[in-house]
Chains A and B, each alone.
Chain A
């Protein structure tokens, strides 16, 4: 059974005069331990999708099942919290998701909300900071850290709640290249070493390539779903959806267009021909 499953999920922003449909019948399923990149240009509905999975928004139509429990409007607060605990979320702006004035207090915020024993919180906080490599900064003030470091603290805050899945909503978009590398490294580590399911919402192709699976959403609909190799092979389609492709892929596609052979055998033949002429 998939860990998260959506069936015909639709969402419309209810504005009285002008309802804005954002998602149309999205049916996707994610297995435990998967690393999935969700691609789409701005306004494609990918962030809305994330907010639906985290129960921040409520679906207009369709169903969501998380870890065997279906999400519906009549859930009690305790049940909602239990589901939110399973699916953590890291947002785009590193500044706007840190609550406390000391790093370790911020990491403790989630477990504190869950009513966990102080000794256990301490243990989880230390472990979470260790995983994201920020143990040395436990007593620092968040506003003095770099963007990448703040984002790692935000990740630690989510890990401390022991989620099964973490949603990254363009979490690297506001970072410099170095911060981006730090965060991506942490994300991969979480997936490979902790077995956490990762849903990475992004429009950075070089990040998407690192996933096991790429889902392309455009205009609120799933347009492509497959391994990075399968998805990025469709260069023309991606361009038509207003998305770029990873630089290496683009290079390969352009070389192919200008008649440069690409497979090893073809390449070897081409080199041989070039030497012979």
Chain B
């Protein structure tokens, strides 16, 4: 039952987006977020959203999967849209019906807000979550943040913890499954009863799980020590990440795009579209 759980939203593949260096993807994501906040016009926000969706075929990810990931956001989008629609009182008044006043500025603002949130989520998930495996992401973060070691930030230790967590999540899930079966075989009931009694029924699962996890941690610590682990100092890596021409190309393309969006701030666009 718990077997088919997946970590994060990683969608294995071999596309251009998958092949980019994880560090480059992190940089691009940051730049993308910055660009979204630079966009001051409904048209530029729309272009940004469109650009995010252009990444879908580039990453060879089914559109359906992407739309599904946006689904939990629909209430937030709806809420901000409605709020902006009634609260912003700029531009021409379009509706005046008792307490409902809608201005043209409100519509533009609401639409661009909805697009901004969509772009933010679609862009970041496409660049990072869907096309980068958690392992690559950990490696990327470790190498990117390694200069912070100089000011005593335990970057290596955090990366090691992440790796070990990723390694043991499937193992612990399997174990949970086994413990649940064992408790069921003794007549434990997890499905019926009030919420409280169902929560109580989970105690006989969690206690053995914790005990075993602690035992595993102890074993693993000994095993790591035996394999000469002594922290991050003097440690080398077999696979170091290298930026390739592809990464440089992606960065250049993005910088051009970003420059274009920022330039549009001063473009003679219809004033009523401004936000």
Assembled-state Cα–Cα distance A85/B225 (Å): 11
Assembled-state Cα–Cα distance A142/B171 (Å): 10
CB distance from B37 to the nearest CB of A (A): 35
- Which residues on A are within 8 Å of B, measured CB to CB? 51, 54, 56, 77, 81, 84-85, 88-89, 91, 93, 95-102, 104-105, 108-118, 121-122, 125, 141-143, 157-158, 161
B186 contacts the other chain (Cβ, under 8 Å)? no
Are the C-beta atoms of A112 and B219 separated by less than 8 Å? no
List, in ascending order, chain A residues with CB within 8 A of B272's CB.
Answer: none
Assembled-state Cα–Cα distance A71/B219 (Å): 23
CB distance from B227 to the nearest CB of A (A): 4
A81-B230, A113-B227, A114-B228 in contact; A99/B237 too (CB < 8 A)? no
A101-B135, A143-B170 in contact; A96/B235 too (CB < 8 A)? no
B230 touches which of A77, A102, A157 (Cβ 8 Å)? A77
Are the C-beta atoms of B234 and A115 separated by less than 8 Å? yes
22 of the cross-chain contacts (CB-CB < 8 Å) are: A56-B225, A89-B226, A93-B219, A95-B171, A97-B220, A97-B223, A99-B223, A99-B224, A100-B163, A101-B134, A101-B167, A102-B135, A105-B135, A108-B239, A111-B236, A112-B235, A112-B237, A113-B228, A121-B236, A142-B167, A157-B227, A161-B228
Assembled-state Cα–Cα distance A85/B228 (Å): 7
B216 contacts the other chain (Cβ, under 8 Å)? yes
Are the C-beta atoms of B223 and A110 separated by less than 8 Å? no
Assembled-state Cα–Cα distance A91/B236 (Å): 25
CB distance from B214 to the nearest CB of A (A): 11
B228 touches which of A81, A98, A117, A141 (Cβ 8 Å)? A81
CB distance from B170 to the nearest CB of A (A): 4
Are the C-beta atoms of A96 and B234 separated by less than 8 Å? no
A96-B216, A101-B135, A101-B163 in contact; A84/B226 too (CB < 8 A)? yes
B174 contacts the other chain (Cβ, under 8 Å)? yes
List, in ascending order, chain B residues with CB within 8 A of A157's CB.
Answer: 227
Assembled-state Cα–Cα distance A100/B216 (Å): 15
Are the C-beta atoms of A158 and B227 separated by less than 8 Å? yes
Are the C-beta atoms of B240 and A99 separated by less than 8 Å? no
Assembled-state Cα–Cα distance A218/B227 (Å): 29
B interface residues, how many (CB within 8 angstroms) = 28
Are the C-beta atoms of A112 and B236 separated by less than 8 Å? yes
- Which 10 interchain pairs have the tightest Cβ spacing? A96-B219, A97-B223, A108-B238, A143-B170, A121-B238, A110-B227, A113-B228, A115-B234, A89-B226, A81-B228
Are the C-beta atoms of B238 and A125 separated by less than 8 Å? yes
Are the C-beta atoms of A118 and B220 separated by less than 8 Å? no
Assembled-state Cα–Cα distance A39/B242 (Å): 50
List, in ascending order, chain B residues with CB within 8 A of A108's CB.
Answer: 237-239
B229 contacts the other chain (Cβ, under 8 Å)? yes
Majority DSSP secondary structure for residues of B touching A: helix
B222 contacts the other chain (Cβ, under 8 Å)? yes
List, in ascending order, chain A residues with CB within 8 A of B228's CB.
Answer: 81, 84-85, 110, 113-114, 161
Assembled-state Cα–Cα distance A121/B234 (Å): 14
- 0/1 per residue, B60-80, Cβ < 8 Å to A? 000000000000000000000
B223 touches which of A96, A114, A125 (Cβ 8 Å)? A96
Select from chain B the residue with minimum beta-carbon distance to A108.
B238
B263 contacts the other chain (Cβ, under 8 Å)? no
Assembled-state Cα–Cα distance A21/B251 (Å): 65
Select from chain A the residue with minimum beta-carbon distance to B139.
A105
List, in ascending order, chain A residues with CB within 8 A of B229's CB.
Answer: 109, 113
Assembled-state Cα–Cα distance A118/B241 (Å): 12
Are the C-beta atoms of B219 and A122 separated by less than 8 Å? no
Select from chain A the residue with minimum beta-carbon distance to B135.
A101
A89-B226, A105-B238, A118-B237 in contact; A96/B220 too (CB < 8 A)? yes
Are the C-beta atoms of B238 and A115 separated by less than 8 Å? no
Assembled-state Cα–Cα distance A89/B229 (Å): 13
- 0/1 per residue, B195-237, Cβ < 8 Å to A? 0000000000000000000001001101111111110001111
Are the C-beta atoms of A113 and B235 separated by less than 8 Å? yes
List, in ascending order, chain B residues with CB within 8 A of A84's CB.
Answer: 225-226, 228
Other than the given A91-B222, A99-B167, 19 more pairs (CB < 8 A) read A56-B226, A84-B225, A91-B219, A95-B171, A96-B216, A99-B220, A99-B224, A99-B227, A105-B135, A110-B228, A113-B229, A113-B235, A114-B228, A115-B235, A117-B236, A125-B238, A143-B170, A157-B227, A158-B227
List, in ascending order, chain A residues with CB within 8 A of B34's CB.
Answer: none
CB distance from B200 to the nearest CB of A (A): 30
Are the C-beta atoms of B171 and A112 separated by less than 8 Å? no
List, in ascending order, chain B residues with CB within 8 A of A109's CB.
Answer: 224, 227, 229
Assembled-state Cα–Cα distance A83/B238 (Å): 23
CB distance from A184 to the nearest CB of B (A): 21
Are the C-beta atoms of B235 and A100 separated by less than 8 Å? no
Assembled-state Cα–Cα distance A14/B226 (Å): 22
Assembled-state Cα–Cα distance A118/B240 (Å): 8
List, in ascending order, chain B residues with CB within 8 A of A105's CB.
Answer: 135, 238-239
